[in-house]
Structure 1
Amino acid sequence: MLRTMWKGSIQFGLVYIPIKLYTATEDKDIKLRMLHKDCMAPINYTRTCSKCGKEVKNEDIVKGYEYTPGQFIAISEEEINDLQDDMSKSVEIINFVNLSDIDPIYFEKSYFIGPDSGQGLRAYSLLRQTISDSGKIGLANIIMRSKQHLAAIRSYGNGMLLETLFYPDEVRAMNDVPGLNDIIAENAPKEVEIATQLVEQLTAEFKPENYKDNYRLKLEQLITNKVAGVKPAQKEEIPKANNVVDLLSALEASVKQNKPKKKTTSRRKKTI
């Protein structure tokens, strides 16, 4: 059962659709704790003041902003709530755009949109079908966890999906990446030809179920074995990579390595 993490409404013109948001993805990383090597017990961390060194209780903690090095101004929860006004519970669709117009770098996190009450089911269904039939997505603003997000609303299965987006000023400039100015303007035609051939060989239909987190699976197995007292298997030596002289040779070797294997047909002997 999914847990509601946000409750409010979608504003579609003058139509208000009561909704609930549910986190659509989950982090399955295996969390390793910090332990004391001698006692094999977890390490405790306490909140202390950097000035007086005293331990600080939760009720004595306030939020603040460092406006100049070493100088802070306190911001209360009431002041933050006043800035949000009525936006905190409303998702107003402001535009409709093509999904292909949004570069994937802007996408942040996905949430399932579920109806909040039976009275809003008809409006929810209408918006989902309208978005699906149009082939477009709705752009909206939403405030979650004291932060305003740009969000994309699109149809997904028999429901809808809300995906938070980064604002343009949150995406760093590509030109700031070191070394880009040193890239050559044009590549050798033969290298481009072989590289394109390699891309064609590796092209496949995207099926999410074909991709697995191999590192996590190995770590899970390691933990299971250690709990059961099973010693890890001896690690096989990884063969050294061939010394490839240049880029073209590397591409040609890659194409040769990824060539589909021919099916061998075995001839049956005739029986008399």
Structure 2
Amino acid sequence: MARAVWSGVLTFGLVTVPVQLFSATDSHTIHFHQLQRGTADRVRNKRVNERTGDEVPLEEIVKGYETGDGEYVIVEPEELDDIAPGRSRSIDVSGFVELKDVRPVFFDKTYYLGPKGEEYGKVYTLLHDTLAKADKAGIATFVTRNHEYLVALKAEAGILTLHTLHWADEVRDPRKEIDALPGRHKTNDRELRMARQLIDTLSMDWKPEEWHDTFQEKVAALLKAKQEGQEVEKSAPPPKSTNVVDLMEALQASVEHARSPKASSDKATASGGSKKGRSKPSSGKKRTPSKQATKRPDLQDLTKAELYRHATDADIQGRSSMNRDELINALSRGHAPHKARAA
């Protein structure tokens, strides 16, 4: 059973319900110690006076705010404690806003909020159901660990959740932060239609349990391989950017690949389902392919989209970053498909 990180009361209007706060997420990051190369000696961080090089005891350290030209305003730890807001014993909802009006960029950390006892279940359930039907979020401020937080109270799948929010002045303006942010570019109907086809073809149900941290898995595999004296294959380089000239060709190839039987089969296998009518029952007789069917196509006669499709069937690594000539060379090195597809 998880331990509550805070307990107090939740109030909205004249209604009060005792609640407890629990962390909603947990990190599975693999942590490392720092060692000196060639040894098993741990490397420790020390507080060192950068002028003298001497280590400074913790009790002799004060905080300094730099005002410029090497000048500092010195603040003692006790002075910060004197002005710090007291730890909240209540979460007072100031009002309720439309949930859609709170942009995702404002959300920071999530907590579960549970009633402190079964006798408070009805009030808790009433607030949850009302928020869920109204599609609204309660906004409040909350103080803990000498920090004041702006929070949003939401109803999610039978439980109340509390989300810490960034303050408005903490959210950066992308137009000021990104120098290369483009203006509005004109797109034609054909490009929009093809891009929409790709999105529709790749649409799927949101099942978060099917997604996992592949990097942490590779880190764990790296550690295991090094323990066993083996080597781990490096990741493929990232694909090259799609230029404007190849945009429609890349979209067309993407749609055709997503609609291919292999991609559909992989998708059906991943979801545990199958497609009806995909193949006919076998008659028990083996069919010998004709010479025409087994004749390799002339790669030079194929479009880039057709080459990319063949490279996908051949599972050629790095194909998404290859140009037409590179695809031809890769397919020519013993990877050319045995059966030509219709364009």
> Is the 1:67–1:73 Cα contact (8 Å) retained in structure 2?
no
CA distance in 1, matches of 2:235, 2:152: 47
Task: Select the structure with the greater relative contact order (CA < 8 A; seq sep ≥ 6).
Answer: 1
CA distance in 2, matches of 1:67, 1:174: 28
How far the C-alpha of 1:76 sits from its partner, in A, is 3.7
Aligned to 2:197: 197
* RMSD, aligned α-carbons: 3.0
Give the match's secondary structure for 2:190. helix
CA distance in 2, matches of 1:254, 1:138: 43
CA distance in 2, matches of 1:269, 1:45: 72
The structure that has the greater radius of gyration is 2
> Is the 1:8–1:19 Cα contact (8 Å) retained in structure 2?
yes
How far the C-alpha of 1:83 sits from its partner, in A, is 4.5
TM-score, normalising length: structure 2: 0.68
TM-score, normalising length: structure 1: 0.84
Q: Deviations over 1:62-102 (max 9, x none)?
A: 444334453123054464454514x6332111121222221
Give the match's secondary structure for 2:88. helix
After superposition, residues 133-172 of structure 1 pair within 5 angstroms as: 133-172=133-172
Percent identical: 31
Aligned to 1:38: 38
Aligned to 2:85: 84
How far the C-alpha of 1:204 sits from its partner, in A, is 1.0
CA distance in 2, matches of 1:64, 1:241: 47
CA distance in 2, matches of 1:265, 1:3: 57
After superposition, residues 1-272 of structure 1 pair within 5 angstroms as: 1-68=1-68, 70=70, 71-74=72-75, 76-77=77-78, 79-80=80-81, 82-85=83-86, 88-117=88-117, 120-176=120-176, 177-180=178-181, 182-227=182-227, 229-232=228-231, 246-261=246-261, 263-268=278-283
Q: Deviations over 1:169-202 (max 9, x none)?
A: 110012111122x434312332222111111111
CA distance in 1, matches of 2:238, 2:133: 53
User: Which amino acid is the alignment partner of residue 179 of structure 1?
Assistant: A
Question: Mean Cα displacement is larger for which, 247-256 or 151-160?
Answer: 151-160
Give the match's secondary structure for 1:4. coil
Aligned to 2:313: none
CA distance in 2, matches of 1:218, 1:13: 51
CA distance in 1, matches of 2:204, 2:39: 51
Count of matched residue pairs: 267
How far the C-alpha of 1:139 sits from its partner, in A, is 1.2
Residues 144, 210 of structure 1: CA spacing in aligned structure 2 closer, same or farther, 3 A cutoff?
same
User: Which amino acid is the alignment partner of residue 74 of structure 1?
Assistant: V
CA distance in 2, matches of 1:100, 1:239: 35
> Is the 1:91–1:140 Cα contact (8 Å) retained in structure 2?
yes
Residues 191, 73 of structure 1: CA spacing in aligned structure 2 closer, same or farther, 3 A cutoff?
same
| Unpaired stretches in structure 1, ≥5 consecutive residues | none
> Is the 1:63–1:75 Cα contact (8 Å) retained in structure 2?
yes
Give the match's secondary structure for 2:212. coil
> Is the 2:22–2:113 Cα contact (8 Å) retained in structure 1?
yes
Question: Mean Cα displacement is larger for which, 182-191 or 41-50?
Answer: 182-191
Give the match's secondary structure for 1:232. coil
